[in-house]
Amino acid sequence: MSECILEARDLTRCYRRPDGRMLTACQGVNLKLYKGKTLGIVGESGCGKSTLLRMLAQLEPPNEGTLLFKDKDITALRGEALRRHRGHIQMVFQDPSSAFFPRMKVWDALTEPLKNFKNLSVSERKKEAARLLRLVELPEEFLERYPHSMSGGQRQRLGIARALALQPEILLCDEATSALDVSTQDQLVKLLISLQRQEGLSILFVCHDLALVQSLSHQIMIMYLGVVVESLPSADLEELSVHPYTRSLLASAFSMDTDPAKDIAPLSGEVPSPIDRPKGCPFHTRCPECMEICREKAPKMTELSPGHWLACHRA
For ligand ADP, the binding residues (CB under 6 A) are: 15, 23, 25, 43, 45-51, 274
58 near Mg ion, judged by CB under 5 A: no
What minimum distance in Å lies between the beta carbon of 14 and ligand ADP?
A: 9
What minimum distance in Å lies between the beta carbon of 53 and Mg ion?
A: 8
Nearer to ligand ADP, 96 or 226 (CB): 226
Residue 216 Cα to chain centre, angstroms: 12
Contact present, 10 and 65 (Cβ < 8 Å)? yes
Closest CA to 233 of 58, 39, 86, 47: 39
The Cβ of residue 228 has, within 10 Å, a number of other Cβ atoms equal to: 26
Nearer to Mg ion, 138 or 172 (CB): 172
51 near Mg ion, judged by CB under 5 A: no
Q: Which helix (H) or strand (E) segment is 189 a member of?
A: helix 182-199
In 3-state terms, what secondary structure has residue 208? coil
Residues 2-41, one symbol each (x = binds Mg ion by CB under 5 A, - = not), give: ----------------------------------------
Nearer to ligand ADP, 82 or 275 (CB): 275
Out of ligand ADP, Mg ion, none, what residue 110 binds, judged by CB under 5 to 8 A for its kind, is none
50 near Mg ion, judged by CB under 5 A: yes
What minimum distance in Å lies between the beta carbon of 288 and ligand ADP?
A: 23
What minimum distance in Å lies between the beta carbon of 281 and ligand ADP?
A: 18
Contact present, 195 and 201 (Cβ < 8 Å)? yes
How many degrees, rounded to 5, is the angle at CA 18 between CA 13 and CA 21?
A: 55
Which part of the chain contacts Mg ion (CB under 5 A), choosing from 50-58, 66-74, 150-158, 223-231? 50-58
Q: What is the DSSP letter of 100?
A: S
- Helices 152-164/122-135 angle, 10° precision: 120
Closest CA to 162 of 262, 266, 90: 90
Nearer to ligand ADP, 142 or 205 (CB): 205
Site of interaction with Mg ion (CB under 5 A): 49-50
